[in-house]
Amino acid sequence: MNLVVCVKQVPDTTEVKIDPVTNTLIRQGVPSIVNPFDKNALETALQLKEQHGGRVTVISMGPPQAKDALKECLAMGADEAVLVSDRAFGGADTLATSYTLAAAIRKLGNYDIILCGKQAIDGDTAQVGPEMAEHLGIAQVTYVAKLTVEGAAVRVEREHDVGYEILEVQTPVLVSVVKAINEPRLPTVKGTMKANRAEIPLWGAGDLAVSEPRLGLKGSPTQVRKIFTPPQRTQGVVIQKETAREAVADLLQKLADAKIV
Ligand SMILES: Cc1cc2nc3c(=O)[nH]c(=O)nc-3n(C[C@H](O)[C@H](O)[C@H](O)COP(=O)(O)OP(=O)(O)OC[C@H]3O[C@@H](n4cnc5c(N)ncnc54)[C@H](O)[C@@H]3O)c2cc1C
Protein backbone atom coordinates (compact mmCIF):
# COMPACT_ATOMS: atom_id res chain seq x y z
CA MET A 1 0.00 0.00 0.00
CA ASN A 2 1.40 3.41 -0.99
CA LEU A 3 0.70 5.99 1.67
CA VAL A 4 1.41 9.70 1.29
CA VAL A 5 1.32 11.98 4.33
CA CYS A 6 1.11 15.76 3.92
CA VAL A 7 3.01 17.54 6.65
CA LYS A 8 3.16 21.25 7.35
CA GLN A 9 5.83 22.94 9.47
CA VAL A 10 4.10 25.46 11.75
CA PRO A 11 5.14 27.91 14.49
CA ASP A 12 5.06 26.30 17.95
CA THR A 13 2.28 28.52 19.17
CA THR A 14 -1.41 29.11 18.64
CA GLU A 15 -0.86 32.82 19.29
CA VAL A 16 0.24 33.73 15.81
CA LYS A 17 1.66 37.26 15.54
CA ILE A 18 1.25 39.24 12.34
CA ASP A 19 3.62 41.89 11.00
CA PRO A 20 1.34 44.96 10.72
CA VAL A 21 3.27 46.32 7.74
CA THR A 22 3.69 43.23 5.56
CA ASN A 23 0.61 41.33 6.82
CA THR A 24 2.67 38.13 7.06
CA LEU A 25 3.44 35.81 9.95
CA ILE A 26 6.24 36.82 12.32
CA ARG A 27 8.28 33.62 12.54
CA GLN A 28 11.39 35.06 14.23
CA GLY A 29 11.87 33.81 17.78
CA VAL A 30 9.15 31.20 17.44
CA PRO A 31 10.41 27.62 17.14
CA SER A 32 8.83 25.48 14.44
CA ILE A 33 7.20 22.09 14.87
CA VAL A 34 5.40 19.49 12.81
CA ASN A 35 1.72 20.45 12.74
CA PRO A 36 0.35 18.24 15.57
CA PHE A 37 -2.55 16.78 13.55
CA ASP A 38 -0.09 15.78 10.81
CA LYS A 39 1.69 13.59 13.36
CA ASN A 40 -1.64 11.79 13.86
CA ALA A 41 -1.83 11.40 10.07
CA LEU A 42 1.71 9.97 10.00
CA GLU A 43 0.95 7.59 12.89
CA THR A 44 -2.10 6.33 10.96
CA ALA A 45 0.07 5.70 7.90
CA LEU A 46 2.76 3.91 9.93
CA GLN A 47 0.16 1.63 11.55
CA LEU A 48 -1.37 0.84 8.13
CA LYS A 49 2.10 -0.02 6.81
CA GLU A 50 2.70 -2.30 9.79
CA GLN A 51 -0.61 -4.09 9.11
CA HIS A 52 -0.57 -4.25 5.31
CA GLY A 53 3.00 -3.52 4.19
CA GLY A 54 3.90 -0.75 1.74
CA ARG A 55 5.66 2.59 1.82
CA VAL A 56 5.09 5.83 3.68
CA THR A 57 6.15 9.03 1.92
CA VAL A 58 5.94 12.38 3.68
CA ILE A 59 5.67 15.54 1.66
CA SER A 60 5.80 19.17 2.67
CA MET A 61 5.61 22.47 0.86
CA GLY A 62 7.54 25.19 2.59
CA PRO A 63 10.86 27.02 2.90
CA PRO A 64 14.14 25.03 3.08
CA GLN A 65 13.92 24.78 6.90
CA ALA A 66 10.80 22.61 6.51
CA LYS A 67 13.37 19.81 5.96
CA ASP A 68 13.63 19.65 9.77
CA ALA A 69 9.95 18.70 10.00
CA LEU A 70 10.44 16.02 7.35
CA LYS A 71 13.49 14.64 9.18
CA GLU A 72 11.39 14.29 12.32
CA CYS A 73 8.86 12.30 10.29
CA LEU A 74 11.64 10.06 8.93
CA ALA A 75 12.84 9.54 12.50
CA MET A 76 9.31 8.44 13.44
CA GLY A 77 9.44 5.78 10.72
CA ALA A 78 8.49 7.29 7.33
CA ASP A 79 10.36 5.65 4.44
CA GLU A 80 11.01 8.74 2.37
CA ALA A 81 10.41 12.46 2.28
CA VAL A 82 10.08 15.15 -0.37
CA LEU A 83 10.28 18.90 0.14
CA VAL A 84 8.40 21.03 -2.36
CA SER A 85 10.13 24.39 -2.22
CA ASP A 86 10.65 27.27 -4.59
CA ARG A 87 10.53 31.06 -4.37
CA ALA A 88 7.71 30.83 -6.92
CA PHE A 89 5.52 29.10 -4.30
CA GLY A 90 5.86 31.96 -1.75
CA GLY A 91 2.69 33.70 -0.57
CA ALA A 92 0.46 30.87 -1.77
CA ASP A 93 -3.11 30.78 -0.48
CA THR A 94 -4.76 27.44 0.19
CA LEU A 95 -5.83 26.94 -3.44
CA ALA A 96 -2.30 27.50 -4.74
CA THR A 97 -0.83 25.37 -1.93
CA SER A 98 -3.17 22.47 -2.65
CA TYR A 99 -2.59 22.79 -6.41
CA THR A 100 1.19 22.61 -5.94
CA LEU A 101 1.02 19.71 -3.47
CA ALA A 102 -1.37 17.82 -5.77
CA ALA A 103 1.09 18.25 -8.65
CA ALA A 104 3.89 16.90 -6.43
CA ILE A 105 1.76 13.90 -5.38
CA ARG A 106 1.01 13.18 -9.05
CA LYS A 107 4.76 13.18 -9.65
CA LEU A 108 5.23 10.66 -6.83
CA GLY A 109 3.05 8.29 -8.87
CA ASN A 110 0.89 5.51 -7.45
CA TYR A 111 -0.82 6.24 -4.17
CA ASP A 112 -3.62 4.47 -2.33
CA ILE A 113 -4.29 6.78 0.61
CA ILE A 114 -3.24 10.41 1.10
CA LEU A 115 -3.34 11.41 4.76
CA CYS A 116 -3.56 14.94 6.15
CA GLY A 117 -4.19 16.50 9.51
CA LYS A 118 -7.68 17.96 9.97
CA GLN A 119 -6.14 21.46 9.88
CA ALA A 120 -2.91 23.35 10.38
CA ILE A 121 -2.64 25.18 13.71
CA ASP A 122 -1.43 28.40 12.06
CA GLY A 123 -3.58 28.82 8.94
CA ASP A 124 -6.44 26.81 10.48
CA THR A 125 -8.50 26.74 7.30
CA ALA A 126 -8.78 22.92 6.92
CA GLN A 127 -9.02 23.57 3.18
CA VAL A 128 -5.77 22.15 1.80
CA GLY A 129 -6.71 18.44 2.14
CA PRO A 130 -10.15 18.65 0.50
CA GLU A 131 -8.80 20.95 -2.23
CA MET A 132 -6.00 18.47 -3.04
CA ALA A 133 -8.58 15.70 -3.44
CA GLU A 134 -10.50 17.92 -5.88
CA HIS A 135 -7.37 18.70 -7.91
CA LEU A 136 -6.53 14.98 -8.05
CA GLY A 137 -10.13 13.96 -8.78
CA ILE A 138 -10.28 11.42 -5.95
CA ALA A 139 -12.64 10.74 -3.04
CA GLN A 140 -12.12 12.47 0.30
CA VAL A 141 -13.20 11.91 3.88
CA THR A 142 -12.50 14.54 6.53
CA TYR A 143 -12.39 14.50 10.37
CA VAL A 144 -11.62 10.78 10.54
CA ALA A 145 -11.30 9.32 14.05
CA LYS A 146 -11.00 5.63 13.12
CA LEU A 147 -9.79 3.94 9.96
CA THR A 148 -9.44 0.33 8.81
CA VAL A 149 -8.50 -1.06 5.41
CA GLU A 150 -9.58 -4.29 3.73
CA GLY A 151 -8.34 -4.63 0.16
CA ALA A 152 -9.37 -1.46 -1.65
CA ALA A 153 -12.09 -0.68 0.90
CA VAL A 154 -11.36 1.98 3.51
CA ARG A 155 -13.82 2.06 6.42
CA VAL A 156 -13.87 5.18 8.54
CA GLU A 157 -15.60 6.71 11.48
CA ARG A 158 -15.98 10.41 10.87
CA GLU A 159 -16.43 12.87 13.72
CA HIS A 160 -19.72 14.66 13.60
CA ASP A 161 -21.33 17.31 15.82
CA VAL A 162 -23.77 14.73 17.16
CA GLY A 163 -21.77 11.47 16.98
CA TYR A 164 -19.94 9.51 14.30
CA GLU A 165 -20.66 8.87 10.66
CA ILE A 166 -19.53 5.44 9.41
CA LEU A 167 -18.49 5.41 5.77
CA GLU A 168 -16.79 3.07 3.32
CA VAL A 169 -14.79 4.45 0.42
CA GLN A 170 -12.57 2.90 -2.21
CA THR A 171 -8.93 3.79 -2.76
CA PRO A 172 -7.48 6.11 -3.95
CA VAL A 173 -8.80 8.40 -1.25
CA LEU A 174 -7.68 11.45 0.71
CA VAL A 175 -8.35 11.28 4.45
CA SER A 176 -7.93 14.04 7.03
CA VAL A 177 -7.64 12.88 10.62
CA VAL A 178 -8.48 14.25 14.07
CA LYS A 179 -6.41 13.97 17.24
CA ALA A 180 -8.61 11.19 18.67
CA ILE A 181 -7.48 8.72 15.99
CA ASN A 182 -4.25 7.74 17.79
CA GLU A 183 -1.28 8.75 19.93
CA PRO A 184 1.68 9.55 17.65
CA ARG A 185 4.84 7.56 18.43
CA LEU A 186 8.09 9.26 19.41
CA PRO A 187 11.10 9.21 17.08
CA THR A 188 13.52 6.36 17.88
CA VAL A 189 17.30 6.79 18.25
CA LYS A 190 17.87 4.50 15.25
CA GLY A 191 15.27 6.44 13.28
CA THR A 192 16.88 9.76 14.18
CA MET A 193 20.30 8.54 13.02
CA LYS A 194 18.78 7.32 9.74
CA ALA A 195 16.93 10.62 9.32
CA ASN A 196 20.10 12.64 9.88
CA ARG A 197 21.81 10.74 7.06
CA ALA A 198 18.84 10.96 4.70
CA GLU A 199 19.00 13.15 1.61
CA ILE A 200 15.67 14.86 1.13
CA PRO A 201 14.94 15.67 -2.52
CA LEU A 202 13.83 19.21 -3.17
CA TRP A 203 11.29 19.75 -5.94
CA GLY A 204 10.86 23.22 -7.41
CA ALA A 205 8.35 24.63 -9.87
CA GLY A 206 10.34 23.28 -12.82
CA ASP A 207 10.06 19.73 -11.47
CA LEU A 208 6.27 19.72 -11.41
CA ALA A 209 3.92 19.32 -14.34
CA VAL A 210 1.76 22.38 -13.80
CA SER A 211 -0.50 23.61 -16.56
CA GLU A 212 -2.40 26.40 -14.76
CA PRO A 213 -0.99 29.73 -13.48
CA ARG A 214 -1.78 28.64 -9.95
CA LEU A 215 1.55 29.00 -8.10
CA GLY A 216 2.48 31.27 -5.19
CA LEU A 217 1.13 34.74 -4.53
CA LYS A 218 0.56 35.47 -8.24
CA GLY A 219 -1.54 32.34 -8.67
CA SER A 220 -3.57 32.89 -5.49
CA PRO A 221 -7.08 34.20 -6.08
CA THR A 222 -7.41 35.32 -2.45
CA GLN A 223 -5.99 38.72 -1.60
CA VAL A 224 -5.27 39.70 1.98
CA ARG A 225 -6.18 43.38 2.41
CA LYS A 226 -5.42 43.52 6.11
CA ILE A 227 -4.68 41.11 8.96
CA PHE A 228 -5.12 42.38 12.49
CA THR A 229 -5.70 41.20 16.02
CA PRO A 230 -9.17 42.33 17.10
CA PRO A 231 -9.18 44.67 20.12
CA GLN A 232 -9.76 43.03 23.51
CA ARG A 233 -13.46 42.85 24.29
CA THR A 234 -14.56 45.16 27.05
CA GLN A 235 -17.23 44.11 29.47
CA GLY A 236 -20.73 44.58 28.03
CA VAL A 237 -23.54 46.66 29.52
CA VAL A 238 -25.30 44.98 32.42
CA ILE A 239 -29.05 45.56 32.60
CA GLN A 240 -30.62 45.03 36.00
CA LYS A 241 -34.33 45.80 36.39
CA GLU A 242 -37.12 44.63 38.65
CA THR A 243 -39.00 42.83 35.88
CA ALA A 244 -38.18 41.24 32.53
CA ARG A 245 -40.51 43.72 30.80
CA GLU A 246 -38.53 46.68 32.21
CA ALA A 247 -35.23 45.01 31.27
CA VAL A 248 -36.39 44.46 27.67
CA ALA A 249 -37.63 48.06 27.42
CA ASP A 250 -34.28 49.33 28.72
CA LEU A 251 -32.38 47.08 26.29
CA LEU A 252 -34.46 48.27 23.32
CA GLN A 253 -33.85 51.87 24.32
CA LYS A 254 -30.08 51.27 24.52
CA LEU A 255 -30.09 49.55 21.10
CA ALA A 256 -32.12 52.43 19.64
CA ASP A 257 -29.70 54.99 21.15
CA ALA A 258 -26.81 53.10 19.55
CA LYS A 259 -28.79 53.12 16.25
CA ILE A 260 -28.68 49.30 16.12
CA VAL A 261 -32.48 48.96 15.90
C1 LIG B 1 -5.85 34.38 1.88
C2 LIG B 1 -4.61 33.72 2.34
C3 LIG B 1 -3.39 34.31 2.07
C4 LIG B 1 -2.21 33.74 2.53
N5 LIG B 1 -1.04 34.34 2.28
C6 LIG B 1 0.09 33.79 2.76
C7 LIG B 1 1.34 34.40 2.57
O8 LIG B 1 1.41 35.47 1.97
N9 LIG B 1 2.46 33.80 3.06
C10 LIG B 1 2.37 32.60 3.73
O11 LIG B 1 3.40 32.06 4.17
N12 LIG B 1 1.20 31.99 3.91
C13 LIG B 1 0.06 32.56 3.46
N14 LIG B 1 -1.12 31.97 3.68
C15 LIG B 1 -1.15 30.74 4.39
C16 LIG B 1 -1.04 29.58 3.45
O17 LIG B 1 -1.92 29.65 2.39
C18 LIG B 1 -1.41 28.42 4.25
O19 LIG B 1 -0.46 28.26 5.25
C20 LIG B 1 -1.46 27.16 3.43
O21 LIG B 1 -2.18 27.34 2.28
C22 LIG B 1 -2.04 26.04 4.24
O23 LIG B 1 -3.32 26.39 4.72
P24 LIG B 1 -3.65 26.12 6.22
O25 LIG B 1 -2.49 26.52 7.05
O26 LIG B 1 -4.96 26.72 6.52
O27 LIG B 1 -3.73 24.53 6.25
P28 LIG B 1 -4.96 23.57 6.46
O29 LIG B 1 -5.81 23.56 5.25
O30 LIG B 1 -5.64 23.89 7.77
O31 LIG B 1 -4.15 22.22 6.57
C32 LIG B 1 -4.80 20.95 6.48
C33 LIG B 1 -3.78 19.89 6.24
O34 LIG B 1 -3.25 20.05 4.92
C35 LIG B 1 -1.86 19.68 4.92
N36 LIG B 1 -1.06 20.87 4.58
C37 LIG B 1 -1.40 22.18 4.68
N38 LIG B 1 -0.39 22.95 4.25
C39 LIG B 1 0.61 22.12 3.88
C40 LIG B 1 1.91 22.32 3.36
N41 LIG B 1 2.40 23.52 3.12
N42 LIG B 1 2.66 21.23 3.08
C43 LIG B 1 2.18 19.99 3.31
N44 LIG B 1 0.96 19.72 3.81
C45 LIG B 1 0.18 20.78 4.08
C46 LIG B 1 -1.54 19.20 6.33
O47 LIG B 1 -1.74 17.81 6.37
C48 LIG B 1 -2.58 19.92 7.18
O49 LIG B 1 -2.86 19.27 8.40
C50 LIG B 1 -2.29 32.53 3.24
C51 LIG B 1 -3.53 31.93 3.49
C52 LIG B 1 -4.67 32.50 3.05
C53 LIG B 1 -6.00 31.85 3.34
Residue nearest to atom 41 of ligand 1 (CA): 61
Can you tell me whether residue 173 is helix, strand or coil?
strand
Question: 34 and 139, same structural domain?
Answer: yes
Question: 236 and 203, same structural domain?
Answer: no
Residue nearest to atom 52 of ligand 1 (CA): 93
Q: Measured in angstroms, how far is the CA atom of residue 128 from the centroid of ligand 1?
A: 7
pLDDT of residue 43: 98
The CB of 35 under 6 Å from ligand 1? The reply is yes
Confirm whether 217 is domain-assigned: no
Among 44-53, 61-70, 197-206, 230-239, name the one with the lowest average pLDDT: 230-239
pLDDT of residue 15: 67
Confirm whether 191 is domain-assigned: yes
pLDDT of residue 14: 66
The CB of 91 under 6 Å from ligand 1? The reply is yes
Question: 153 and 33, same structural domain?
Answer: yes
CA distance 49 to 253: 66
Confirm whether 216 is domain-assigned: no
Q: Which amino acid makes up residue 146? A: K
More confident residue, 219 or 27: 219
Question: 157 and 60, same structural domain?
Answer: yes
pLDDT at 258 over 80: yes
Can you tell me whether residue 219 is helix, strand or coil?
coil
The CB of 119 under 6 Å from ligand 1? The reply is yes
* Arithmetic mean of pLDDT, 84-102: 95
Confirm whether 219 is domain-assigned: no
**Could you give the angle at which helices 189-197 and 67-76 cross, rounded to 10 degrees?**
140
pLDDT at 149 over 90: yes
CA-to-CA separations, 213 to 37, 63, 86, 99, 224, in angstroms, rounded: 30, 20, 15, 10, 19
* Arithmetic mean of pLDDT, 135-153: 97
Residue nearest to atom 43 of ligand 1 (CA): 60
Q: How would you label 228-244 residue by residue, b for 16+ Cβ within 10 Å and e otherwise? A: eeeeeeeeeeeeeeeee
The CB of 224 under 6 Å from ligand 1? The reply is yes
Question: 248 and 126, same structural domain?
Answer: no
Question: 257 and 198, same structural domain?
Answer: no
Confirm whether 224 is domain-assigned: no
Question: 179 and 86, same structural domain?
Answer: yes
Confirm whether 136 is domain-assigned: yes
| pLDDT tens digit sequence for 4-22 | 999 999 998 766 677 777 6
Confirm whether 222 is domain-assigned: no
Share of the chain above pLDDT 70, in %: 98
* Arithmetic mean of pLDDT, 134-155: 97
The CB of 37 under 6 Å from ligand 1? The reply is yes
Q: Measured in angstroms, how far is the CA atom of residue 258 from the centroid of ligand 1?
A: 39
The number of domains in the chain is 2
Among 135-149, 228-242, 244-258, name the one with the lowest average pLDDT: 228-242
Q: Measured in angstroms, how far is the CA atom of residue 242 from the centroid of ligand 1?
A: 52
Question: 136 and 21, same structural domain?
Answer: yes
pLDDT at 230 over 90: no
CA distance 150 to 117: 22
> Could you list the residue range(s) of the whole structural domain that residue 244 is in?
231-261
pLDDT at 227 over 80: no
Confirm whether 164 is domain-assigned: yes
Q: Measured in angstroms, how far is the CA atom of residue 158 from the centroid of ligand 1?
A: 23
Closest ligand 1 atom to 128 CA: 29
Question: 250 and 132, same structural domain?
Answer: no
Among 33-37, 182-186, 189-193, 222-226, name the one with the lowest average pLDDT: 222-226
Question: 254 and 139, same structural domain?
Answer: no
Residue nearest to atom 4 of ligand 1 (CA): 93
Q: Measured in angstroms, how far is the CA atom of residue 91 from the centroid of ligand 1?
A: 9
The per-residue pLDDT of the chain, averaged, comes to 93
pLDDT of residue 192: 96
Q: Measured in angstroms, how far is the CA atom of residue 169 from the centroid of ligand 1?
A: 26
163 backbone dihedrals φ, ψ, rounded to 5° = 150, -140
The CB of 124 under 6 Å from ligand 1? The reply is yes
**Could you give the angle at which helices 36-52 and 67-76 cross, rounded to 10 degrees?**
40
Question: 171 and 105, same structural domain?
Answer: yes
pLDDT at 91 over 70: yes
CATH number reported for the structural domain that contains residue 175 in this entry: 3.40.50.620
pLDDT of residue 76: 98
